[in-house]
Amino acid sequence: MTNQNKMDRIPFFLLFIIFFGVHYFSQAQTGCAGSDALLTICNKDQDLSLQNFDLFDALNDTPLTGGIWSTSNPANFYAFDRTTGIVNLWKILNSGTHTFTYTNDACGESANVTINLGGYSGEDNIDGSANACSNEIEVNMHRFLGSEVADKIQDFNGLWEAVTPEAVNFLERNIFNAFGAGPGVYEFTYTVAAVATCPSEQSTVILEVHPSPNPGTGLALAVCVTDDLSAYRNLNLNSYLAAEDANGTWSESGTGQLTDLSDNTINVEEIRDNFGYGIYNFNYTVYPTHPVCDEQFSTVAISILPTLSGSLESLNYCMGSPYTIDITYDSTLLPNGRYQMGYLVDPADGLVRAEDVIITLTNGVGSFDVNPSLVSTNVYNTVSISSITGFLPLRSVCTTIDVSETTFLVSNSQIQIAEACQDTTIPVQILNILDTTASLTNSPHTITYTLTAPDGGTTTETIENLAFSAGAATFEIAAEHAGQDGEHEVIVTIDNVLDVTCNLQTLFNVIATPDAITLTLQVDNSCNATEINVLVAAPILPDGIYNVTYDVIEQNTGAVVINNTIAFAGGTADYQVDVAPLEQGNYTISVRSIQNDTTPCRTIFEYEETENFAIKGIPDIPIGESNQTFCLSEYDTNGPTLEDLAFTASRDPLFYATETSTDILSISTPLAHNVAYFISTINNENNCEGTQRLRVLVSLTAPITPTTSNATPFFCGGDAATLASVDITFSETTIVWFDAPVNGNLLPATTLLEDGVSYYAASENSQGCRSSERLLLTPTVFTVTPLTLASTEFDICGLDEPTISDLNNLAAFENYEIRWYDSLESTSAISETALLIPYTMYYAENYNEDTGCIAPNRTAITIDLSACNPEDYDFFIPDGFSPNGDARNDRYFIPNIEKIFPAFQLEIKNRYGRTLFMGNIQNPAWDGTIKGNSIAPNGVYFYIIHYNKEGFEPKQGRLYLNR
């Protein structure tokens, strides 16, 4: 039916919905769920509103909201909303009858809406847009019935039929076998059946099947990586194809052999040389004539097979050990992996045997074990490789194998040891030992054996020059090594014999010594006995008896006062011996057993147990002070022990930690402070101990060792420090000093400290007990040497403005810093930049800057600043001045004369010889007056200078006064 036919039915559908809805009621009366309704809907694909069809509105009568919708058809479950009842009829893709149930729990009722839904067969596809490829085996015909309207999909429960006869046999339901039908044009119809009053629908599909490309069948080429490949330098890939289309092109990956799409020739030898072994695929691709078909390709595989090339190595082995063959191969010719490898064993008898193994080959090495059943003993066996195939991963390997064979010998040398008894010598027999020529040895050899006991302990012994005859020898394992019963292992090595890869070893059993009879004596009170139990526990003897005798002997006289004998085959027995009637004294009870059985490995047949006891034999309590004090420093480093306790006892003492303790303390047990010890006595003749104990409370007095925050104090020598100067912390009465860590001489606290000398301090309490340890102090006493000056006077020229620092040049040496003071008592040093004051006495003090120590004495020096050579300082005498009050040249003075000649005298006279001015260092300048009164007139005047210095004569001259 065409799309136009479908459009013609729209009025009928609308009229049917509006006027011809038929309602059926399944209940006699309605409730909150309403009543059943039946609807028929045709041409659903023509009405978009059917994508939101309200089932609730379709219910008859007056249903109440709040219920839940359901359907029994799982295909419809996701087409509707269970709460609102809105169903999308476009999503129901099967035409027919569909029922939806509305259930309202408020009244416990349900109602059904049944819809007869007409079918939709999809749209015709006859315009050439339906295409398939001839290599498709399953073409789904539904894919050609699409619609351009969203969500409009044909029903799936229609019927497909082939119109073209050639297609009939290749259509099954909606699947068409295009591969079987082959290329061509085929017509099909799809029919959806009528539903109720809705007519059936039919759509037509014209399908064209296009031919698929045929790349043919690729053939494979396999060569070995070590082959001569010169014959394959120009291999035409087309020659390795069969039945292919001629319009294809070649491609490859990684070898670079194909230059363009027209190239079909490769050089296999070059591939091998450049890339080594591997599988190199070349694809022949044929492209389709229609895009519905995919391009097709076939592959020509060039397999350059890896090759096993190497050598086998082996050792000589002991029979029973793994016969391991090592293989070394060229890893550039064979990749790592697991391989199935065949090998041949050719023994001396010439009967070649073969087997396959799985072997792991990695980085040029591998190994495998030869099946022992293929090997002959005491002859040489030759092993060679016969085949190899890749196992993990699976791969082919070149059948040409280049591996050298190997030869080895398996020796059946052995050791034999029979069962042995515990603690007995064990003979060992060695058999079939081969010498270095593979013959049974007749020479002496040095052997070493290692014995492993059941508990894992080992013993190793060496026996030199053990004699062998026809490959056999015997030696013994000492009884001291057979102390454990059970299974033992022996490993033997022998020098200078055929080299094999294993040790001779065997297991053997050591039989335990049979259980012995147990004899027990139980004395009710060994110090005041009344009854003794004689207990016998004996294993049952299958072929013998026990003779058991017990007796009591008085120790002083040796007299037997009680005697009895019992004979039995085993089991337990208990005999009570009444000793209460015996006299006071010391006794010995003995029980003896003699047996005559033949149990294997039994070595002892006679047993005896004895016990001493006394009648009324308990000693008295010791006597001593209950409180005893000990000074720890009076003892060695271990301190006082129980032996130092003071008491008297009639018998040997025993010491305990408590009144009731049974653990005896050693007499060397150190005493502890504020701990009580308990002393009793024991009579060693009868082993009886007193019932009462002396309690002694121990006090250990040990003054605390003094402490200090500085064990290496520092003092300056000038401080005259003594032992009393040391800062020590102590809590006892006093501190005492010694010149040694132990013993030594007692030193008074006024002892002057010496540099580097060790002193030892101890605390001493009021009882005169000193601390057991002494505090070590090693002071440093740093002494600064007083300054030595080259002279006690210092002459220098004041014109040079000398300072305190210039005085340092007088020091004879400069090991210390020098500080200067203006008095002996001054604590403020003069700055080194301070100018020197003439005729002043300075005091020098040596000072160590690192330690802060000073010399005990200061050195004095007097300063003279007149040591000036006039010629060195341009000394001159002015010849005039002008005292006119202009502040320039108003006074007459001789420059620097007070520095060079501090004792000078200057006399000014007029021409009549009258003295007008007398000057010196305190009054060096003339102001042009007559003795400080009237003004002297202009004119010539005369000066007389008295230098008052050795070497300089007075000088006179004239000067001019001009105002």
The larger pLDDT score, comparing residue 634 to residue 241, is at 241
Tens digit of each residue's pLDDT (9 = 90 or more) over 99-146: 999 999 999 999 999 999 999 999 999 999 999 999 999 999 999 997
What is the arithmetic mean of pLDDT over 318-333? Answer: 92
Angstrom distance (rounded) from CA 242 to CA 232: 20
Tens digit of each residue's pLDDT (9 = 90 or more) over 753-773: 999 999 999 988 888 888 888
**Residue found by looking up tokens 């032992």 in the block:** 723
Distance of CA 708 to the CA centre of its chain: 44
What is the arithmetic mean of pLDDT over 902-908? Answer: 92
What is the arithmetic mean of pLDDT over 621-634? Answer: 91
Question: Cis before residue 183, ω within 30 degrees of 0?
Answer: no
Residue 22's pLDDT is what? 34
Tens digit of each residue's pLDDT (9 = 90 or more) over 819-830: 888 888 888 889
Q: How confident is the model at residue 82 (pLDDT cuts 50, 70, 90)?
A: very high
10-14, 386-390, 470-474, 874-878: which has the minimum mean pLDDT? Answer: 10-14
The mean predicted confidence, pLDDT, of the chain is 89
Is residue 23 predicted with pLDDT exceeding 70? no
What is the arithmetic mean of pLDDT over 704-708? Answer: 89
Residue 732's pLDDT is what? 65
**Residue found by looking up tokens 């085949």 in the block:** 387
**Residue found by looking up tokens 């008491």 in the block:** 647
Residue 147's pLDDT is what? 77
16 Cβ neighbours under 8 A, 6+ residues apart: 40, 42, 197
Residue 860's pLDDT is what? 86
425-434, 783-792, 821-830: which has the minimum mean pLDDT? Answer: 783-792
Residue 720's pLDDT is what? 86
* Closest residue by Cα to residue 915 from 904, 931, 937, 936: 931
87's tokens = 């169903």
Angstrom distance (rounded) from CA 208 to CA 291: 12
What is the arithmetic mean of pLDDT over 430-438? Answer: 90
268-272, 416-420, 532-536, 600-604: which has the minimum mean pLDDT? Answer: 600-604
Residue 100's pLDDT is what? 96
Is residue 14 predicted with pLDDT exceeding 60? no
Tens digit of each residue's pLDDT (9 = 90 or more) over 886-897: 889 989 999 989
Is residue 495 predicted with pLDDT exceeding 80? yes
Contact (Cβ atoms closer than 8 angstroms) between residue 841 and residue 826: no
* Closest residue by Cα to residue 328 from 406, 227, 396, 409: 406
Residue 12's pLDDT is what? 33
User: How far is the CA of 500 from the CAs of 418, 474, 826, in angstroms?
Assistant: 25, 21, 101
Tens digit of each residue's pLDDT (9 = 90 or more) over 438-460: 889 999 999 999 999 999 999 99
Is residue 647 predicted with pLDDT exceeding 50? yes
The larger pLDDT score, comparing residue 32 to residue 22, is at 32
* Closest residue by Cα to residue 305 from 330, 281, 277, 332: 277
For 315, other C-beta atoms within 10 Å of its C-beta total 16
Is residue 8 predicted with pLDDT exceeding 70? no
Is residue 161 predicted with pLDDT exceeding 80? yes
Tens digit of each residue's pLDDT (9 = 90 or more) over 659-702: 999 999 999 999 999 999 999 999 887 888 888 999 999 998 88
Residue 318's pLDDT is what? 83
In the chain, % of residues over pLDDT 90: 64
198-207, 744-753, 787-796: which has the minimum mean pLDDT? Answer: 787-796
Is residue 17 predicted with pLDDT exceeding 60? no
Q: What's the count of helices (H) and strands (E) in the chain, helices before strands?
A: 6, 70
Residue 731's pLDDT is what? 65
By the 10 Å C-beta count (0-12 exposed, 13-18 middle, 19+ buried), 953 is classed as exposed
What is the arithmetic mean of pLDDT over 320-346? Answer: 95
What is the arithmetic mean of pLDDT over 224-249? Answer: 94
Residue 164's pLDDT is what? 97
Residue 506's pLDDT is what? 92
Is residue 10 predicted with pLDDT exceeding 60? no
For 306, other C-beta atoms within 10 Å of its C-beta total 26
What is the arithmetic mean of pLDDT over 407-435? Answer: 92
* Closest residue by Cα to residue 241 from 217, 214, 266: 217
Tens digit of each residue's pLDDT (9 = 90 or more) over 912-957: 889 999 999 999 999 999 888 889 899 999 999 999 988 899 999 9
**Residue found by looking up tokens 């303790």 in the block:** 661
Distance of CA 589 to the CA centre of its chain: 66
Collapsing DSSP to helix, strand or coil, 716 comes out as strand
Collapsing DSSP to helix, strand or coil, 170 comes out as helix
Contact (Cβ atoms closer than 8 angstroms) between residue 836 and residue 804: yes
Per-residue b/e over 274-287, b at no fewer than 16 CB within 10 Å? Answer: eeebbebbbbbebe
Q: What is the DSSP string of 284-351?
A: EEE--SSTTSPPEEEEEEEEEE---EEEEE---EETTS-EEEEEEE-TTTS-SEEEEEEEEEEETT--
